[in-house]
């Protein structure tokens, strides 16, 4: 009996270790796997050419990722500008000014909305945002636009990020000790002064992290953006012109990537680029969160 | 001075009030649009029949292939994720209970893994698929989605496990049980509510994700019978049909979006309900 117990203990222990080690090795495996597939293109071109060249002619073997990186950055920044202040103020209202009941109702709702698949946000974007941009917003600025544009991509991304960032911000604000708030109020500060000088200041690392992780999420989002952004190769300053972010490039061309030489390795390079950028952003901002959680 | 203070307070309050309610409004509006557009196009035929000839040009049929396909894919991936993830989560909370630093580092890495976008998992799954000599199939899709949802499952389960007091483990050890017995019979049972939440969370992510299966699962009008057949999924079915120039096909994409949203809402709500129910077994 004892032997069976000991052996099963050993076996389960190995199984547990294997599971954990596999998970911890996963980021390395992903990095190595993608690098392995992207190696032909990294070997054949200089990294500066790949990242900063605007020449994208896969048929001629020219792969400049600048237009894609530009579009990705454009929609991400746009999404951030649109959603970050909104989320910050909404989180302040829900945790500081609003009734406690409202927060209790909203928390599960936000949680559930964060789980809605991105393709549904994409459907909404096609139904609402694209026509709205084409018919109302673009004419307002005297521009003609099909609606499938960087602006639409940014708006849809912003809406997708709202539940995600709001959730994190509420968590950050809830960890601030009540005593601190009371101390500030007892010195005669108004509610808003308390928010300004205590909540924002004390929660600053958390707020920064929530924003950072929101950016990372927006940067890597694929399907919803792909559906509304137009997917045209172009570097344009106007938000009403179409763009072509990195994830959309990968998703759109998987069908034909085997038929053109080096094309598959170019797409894997795009995936590697996304992976590295997002992993770095994540590791950086998660570090903040973990530092604050430990205290 | 005093009036400025009050005025500023009123303004800030107003702005944040507006922000909170516009967020609520936007999200409700989103659900309203998706449901109102989709429910009009939804019919029993859409849900319960396979695509028939000329379906993608507005012919007869439905999206049963995608519904069942998504279900198969997500169930398979969740099983795989449980096999890898549950022991890992238990290991963190039983064997490593004294090593706070190691625990925190592991959690930190897993959190970072959670943030990797699904298209990267898709590209990696594709690389893996070539390496293993697979082609786009249910199996390749299951493996890719499993990689995507395992970190989610582990962290969600771990969040509950880490609240279990150490004394409970000590009591179990003092009665002579091994670490495995403690992990499986005491800690797992104590964290059962968390396990169910984590399971459903991972399952929901698996059903809803499109970018990871784009390369690896293929697409088909039939329901797969074996693991090496391609499989259709709901998100991709929505995506493909929405890009059609034919109005009737796009209508079906709206209907499929309602079906998907409904499943996701059902999963979230039942996760909440079940975790409350199983929380009764917890020793406090």
Helices within chain A (DSSP H only): 2-44, 47-52, 66-92, 100-114, 118-124, 130-132, 138-140, 150-174, 178-186, 191-194, 200-202, 204-220, 223-228, 246-253, 263-294
Do both B173 and B93 map to the same domain? Answer: yes
Give yes or no for residue B93 having a pLDDT over 70: yes
Q: Across chain A, what does the average pLDDT equal?
A: 83
Angle at Cα A163 formed by Cα A162 and Cα A164, nearest 5°? 90
Predicted confidence band of residue B158 (pLDDT cuts 50, 70, 90):
confident
For the segment B208-232, what is each residue's pLDDT rounded down to a tens digit?
Answer: 888 888 888 777 777 777 777 888 8
Together in a domain, B128 and B173: yes
Phi, psi angle pair for A221, to nearest 5°: -70, 135
Query: Mutate which of A84, A108, A120 to disrupt the B interface (most B C-beta within 10 Å)?
Result: A120
| Shared domain check, B54 and B152 | yes
Angle of helix B64-93 versus helix B100-114 axis, rounded to 10: 160
Indicate if B118 and B9 belong to the same structural domain: no
Position B82 scores a pLDDT of 92
Residues ≥6 apart with Cβ < 8 Å to A288: A205, A206, A208, A209
What is the number of other CB atoms lying within 10 angstroms of the CB of residue B266?
12
CB contact under 8 A, B113 and A220: no
Name which of B41, B112, B247 to mutate to probe chain A: the one with the most chain A Cβ atoms within 10 A of its Cβ. Answer: B112
Structure tokens at A144: 């003609």
Question: For residue A295, what pLDDT is reported?
Answer: 45
Give the lowest-confidence range in A152-161, B232-241, B258-267: B232-241
Instruction: Tell me: do B52 and B37 sit in the same domain.
Output: no
Based on the domain organization, do B53 and B34 belong to the same domain?
A: no
What are phi and psi for residue A275, nearest 5 degrees?
-60, -50
Say which range, A9-18, A88-97, A142-151, has the weakest mean pLDDT.
A142-151
- Whether residue B78 is predicted with pLDDT greater than 90 in this model: the reply is yes
- Backbone conformation region of residue B177, classed left if phi is above 0, alpha if psi is from -120 to 50, else beta: beta
Is there a single domain that holds both residue B14 and residue B153?
A: no
Higher per-residue confidence, B179 vs B30: B30
pLDDT digits (tens, 9 = 90+) for A237-252: 777 778 888 888 888 8
Q: Are residues B179 and B91 in the same domain?
A: yes
Same domain membership, residue B138 and residue B31 = no
Helices B2-41, B247-278: axis angle to 10 degrees equals 120
Question: What's the mean pLDDT in A134-152?
Answer: 81
Give yes or no for residue B197 having a pLDDT over 90.
Answer: no
What is the interface pTM, i.e. ipTM, of the complex? 0.88
pLDDT above 70 coverage of chain B, percent: 93
Cα distances (Å, whole numbers) of residue B80 to B136, B144, B268, B269, B279: 18, 10, 21, 24, 25
B29: chain A residues, CB-CB within 8 Å:
128
- Say if residue A142's pLDDT is above 70: yes
Q: Residue B40 belongs to what H/E stretch?
A: helix B2-41
Q: Of A72-76, A81-85, A144-148, which gets the smallest average pLDDT? A: A144-148
* DSSP three-state, residue A243: strand
Query: Where do the domains of chain A lie?
Result: 2-51, 65-294
CATH 3.20.20.120 given to domain A65-294: no
Give the separation between CA A201 and CA A198, rounded to whole angstroms.
5
B25 shares its domain with B57: no
Mean pLDDT, to the nearest integer, of B182-194? 82
What domain range is B17 assigned to?
2-41
Residues B143 and B204 in one domain: yes
Interface of B with A in 132-191 (CB under 8 A): 147, 150-151, 154, 178-181, 183-184
Count of structural domains within chain B: 2
B208 to chain A, minimum CA–CA distance in Å?
A: 5
Amino acid A179: pLDDT: 85
Please name the residues in contact with A191: beta carbons below 8 A apart, sequence gap of 6 or more.
A96, A97, A185, B9, B13
> In a mutagenesis test of the A interface, which of B20, B37, B175, B182 is the best target, namely the one with the most A β-carbons within 10 Å?
B20
Q: Please report residues of A whose CB lies closer than 8 A to that of B30.
A: 121, 124, 159
B72 and B14 together in one domain: no
């Amino acid at each position: 009996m004892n032997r069976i117990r000991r052996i099963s203990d050993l076996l389960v222990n190995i199984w547990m270790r294997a599971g954990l080690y596999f998970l911890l090795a996963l980021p390395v495996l992903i990095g190595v796997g993608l690098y392995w597939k992207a190696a032909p293109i990294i070997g054949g071109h200089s990294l500066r050419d790949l990242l900063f060249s605007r020449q994208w002619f896969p048929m001629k073997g020219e792969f400049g990722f600048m237009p894609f990186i530009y579009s990705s950055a454009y929609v991400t920044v746009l999404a951030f500008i649109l959603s970050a202040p909104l989320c910050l103020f909404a989180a302040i209202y829900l945790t500081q000014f609003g009734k406690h009941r409202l927060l209790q109702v909203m928390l599960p709702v936000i949680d559930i909305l964060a789980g809605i698949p991105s393709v549904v946000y994409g459907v909404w974007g096609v139904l609402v945002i694209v026509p709205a941009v084409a018919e109302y917003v673009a004419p307002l600025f005297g521009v003609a636009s099909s609606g499938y544009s960087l602006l639409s991509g940014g708006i849809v991304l912003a809406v997708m990020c709202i539940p995600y960032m709001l959730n994190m911000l509420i968590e950050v604000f809830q960890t601030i000790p009540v005593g601190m708030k009371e101390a500030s109020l007892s010195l005669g500060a108004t509610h808003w002064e308390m928010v300004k000088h205590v909540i924002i200041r004390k929660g600053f690392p958390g707020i920064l992290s929530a924003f950072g992780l929101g950016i990372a999420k927006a940067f890597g989002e694929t399907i919803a953006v792909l559906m509304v952004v137009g997917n045209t190769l172009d570097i344009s300053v106007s938000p009403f012109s179409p763009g072509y972010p990195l994830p959309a490039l990968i998703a759109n061309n998987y069908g034909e990537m085997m038929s053109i030489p080096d094309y598959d390795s170019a797409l894997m390079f795009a995936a590697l680029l996304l992976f590295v950028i997002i992993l770095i952003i994540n590791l950086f901002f998660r570090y903040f969160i973990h530092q604050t959680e430990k205290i | 001075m005093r009036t400025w203070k009050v005025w500023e307070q009123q303004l800030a309050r107003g702005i944040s009030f507006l922000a909170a309610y516009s967020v609520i409004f936007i999200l409700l509006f989103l659900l309203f649009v998706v449901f109102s557009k989709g429910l009009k196009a939804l019919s029993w035929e859409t849900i319960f029949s396979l695509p028939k000839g000329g379906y993608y040009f507005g012919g007869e049929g439905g999206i049963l292939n995608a519904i069942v396909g998504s279900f198969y894919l997500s169930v398979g991936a969740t099983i795989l994720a449980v096999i890898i993830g549950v022991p890992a989560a238990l290991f963190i909370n039983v064997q490593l209970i004294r090593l706070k630093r190691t625990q925190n580092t592991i959690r930190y890495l897993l959190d970072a893994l959670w943030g990797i976008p699904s298209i990267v998992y898709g590209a990696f799954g594709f690389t893996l698929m070539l390496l293993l000599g697979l082609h786009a199939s249910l199996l390749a899709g299951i493996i890719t989605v499993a990689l995507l949802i395992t970190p989610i499952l582990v962290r969600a389960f771990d969040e509950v496990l880490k609240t279990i007091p150490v004394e409970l483990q000590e009591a179990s050890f003092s009665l002579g049980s091994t670490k495995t017995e403690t992990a499986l019979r005491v800690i797992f049972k104590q964290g059962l509510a968390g396990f169910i939440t984590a399971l459903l969370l991972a399952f929901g992510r698996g059903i809803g994700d499109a970018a990871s299966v784009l390369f690896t699962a293929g697409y088909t009008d039939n329901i797969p019978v074996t693991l090496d057949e391609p499989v259709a999924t709901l998100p991709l079915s929505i995506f493909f049909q929405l890009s059609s120039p034919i109005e009737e096909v796009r209508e079906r994409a709206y209907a499929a979006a309602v079906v998907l949203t409904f499943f996701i809402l059902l999963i979230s709500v039942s996760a909440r309900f079940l975790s409350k129910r199983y929380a009764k077994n917890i020793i406090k």
